[in-house]
Amino acid sequence: MARRRSNRPRPAGDNDLARQRKRKGDPVSGWLNLFKPVEMTSTQAVAILKRLYNADKVGHGGTLDPLADGILPIAFGEATKTVQWAMDSEKEYVFTIQWGVSTASQDAEGEVTSTSDTRPTREAVEAVLANYLGQIEQVPPKFSAIKVDGQRAYDLAREGEDFELKSREVMVHAASVIGMPDADHTVIHVTSGKGFYVRAMARDVAFDLGCDGHISQLRRTRVGTFGAADAIAISALQDMTDKADLLAVLKPVQSVLAGIPDLAVSPSDAGDLRQGRTIMLLPHVVEAWRGARNPDDEDDRLALATCNGIAIALGDVRAGHFEPVRVFNVREGRSA
């Protein structure tokens, strides 16, 4: 009688494990504060760093246009589980509007759609910017990654398709003119929340001023806790010949979770959390968590469990217990 083949995976031998590791890459975890150059896409930056670190999993914390440079947070390994917090964090931009020319994409890459001789004064630009503070409605640019019936808007726009994007609420914390080198250019600084498009602001400000204009230069100077002061260029990383030096510039997984109250747990509790088990909290730990959370949101139960400075799990504090929702498999000596 023929033997039935088992569907259960056979134990991996040393050679199998070696092949799997070679195929998947190394288990690197942490955040990299990358300064992306102009003319490189965010996807290209991820691919370069994946090869450079031989990392098994890499992502980014919010797309940065190819014609823009600046801060592009890169998530390795377990840090990819926190990408949403990077994308939702506060951001800062410095951009230049060139007056007199409007383009289809609202930047220097797009086809010219109209021109004019009208130039706004600095005072006029500042007055209009004041109308864009706080919670506003913004229609994203047609040249954006938003999906329309399953297709990217920028693909439809390049194909000449006629479509409209719905407006969405975005937060603008600050907007001001920081330079006007000549009548043709105005430099603006903006601090915004998630989902905000700089190109859409340039389009709308130009419309309100009765001018033509597009973004000729754009730099993202901050994403949450990632700023320009300690950002590192890809060229600098490529000059590093020692893997230890590459790992040394990575920031901890919890770098984007600064607003979430921390719970310091014991090694034994950390082991339980890594297995998805709920742990009991001592009363003074619960009180410390209550004191650290946002007083304006009493329903927020979220906390970050750490052990010896290493992120263990995100979860909810309920009735003196911590229930893990998202577990991080980060160990000392394995990664950042």
User: What domains can you pick out in the chain, each with its CATH number?
Assistant: 18-88+226-253 (3.30.2350.10), 91-222 (3.30.2350.10), 259-327 (2.30.130.60)
The DSSP-derived string for 103-142 is: ETTSBTTSPEEEE------HHHHHHHHGGG-EEEEEPPPS
| Number of C-beta neighbours around residue 177 at 10 A | 16
pLDDT above 80 for 332: no
pLDDT tens figures, 257-306: 988 999 999 999 999 999 999 999 988 888 888 888 776 666 688 999 99
Query: Quick one: 154 exposed, middle or buried, by C-beta within 10 A (0-12, 13-18, 19+)?
Result: middle
pLDDT cut 70: percent of the chain above it = 90
Give the number of C-alpha atoms closer than 13 A to the C-alpha of residue 112, restricted to the C-beta side: 8
In the prediction, which pLDDT does 59 show?
96
3-state secondary structure of 49: helix
Q: What share of the chain is helix, strand, coil (3-state, %, to 5)?
A: 30, 35, 40
Catalytic (active site) residue 65: yes
Cβ atoms 64, 43 nearer than 8 A = no
Residue 113 has pLDDT above 90, yes or no: yes
Q: Is the pLDDT of residue 322 over 80?
A: yes
Measured on CA atoms in the order 263, 87, 240, 232, is the torsion positive or negative? Answer: negative
Look at 22 and 329; give whichever has higher pLDDT.
329
Contact 327, 276 (CB under 8 A): yes
Give the model's pLDDT for residue 183.
Answer: 96
120-167 pLDDT per residue, tens: 999 999 999 999 999 999 998 887 777 877 878 777 777 777 778 889
pLDDT of residue 141: 86
CA distance 264 to 312: 10
Q: Lowest-confidence range among 73-82, 163-172, 239-248?
A: 163-172
The pLDDT of residue 16 is 47
Q: What is the average pLDDT value for the chain, to the nearest integer?
A: 89
Confidence of residue 8 (pLDDT cuts 50, 70, 90): very low
pLDDT digits (tens, 9 = 90+) for 45-81: 999 999 999 999 999 998 898 999 999 999 999 999 9
Tokens of 148: 């329309």
Residues 6 or more apart in contact with residue 31 via CB below 8 angstroms? 61, 73, 74, 75, 76, 79, 86, 226, 250, 251, 252, 253, 255, 256, 336
Q: What is the pTM of this model?
A: 0.86
Catalytic residue among 14, 56, 65, 204: 65
249: three-class secondary structure by DSSP: coil
Question: Which tokens is 194 given?
Answer: 């998630």
The number of residues making up the chain comes to 336
* Cα first-last separation, the chain: 54
Residue 313 has pLDDT above 90, yes or no: yes
Which of 68-72, 105-109, 131-135, 179-183 is the least confident region? 105-109
Model confidence at 11: pLDDT above 70: no
pLDDT-derived band at 6, boundaries 50, 70, 90: very low
Taking CA atoms, 301 is separated from 21, 137, 261, 315, in Å, by 38, 30, 10, 8
Residue 243 three-state SS: helix
Residues 141, 106: contact at Cβ < 8 Å? yes
For residue 199, pLDDT beyond 90: yes
> 35 is written with which tokens?
């300064």
Cα 199 to Cα 25: distance, rounded to the nearest angstrom? 37
The CA-atom distances, in angstroms, between 170 and each of 5, 108, 223, 226, 278 are: 57, 24, 16, 21, 37
CA nearest neighbour of 226 among 81, 88, 13, 34: 34
- Residue-wise pLDDT tens digits, 202-211: 999 999 999 9
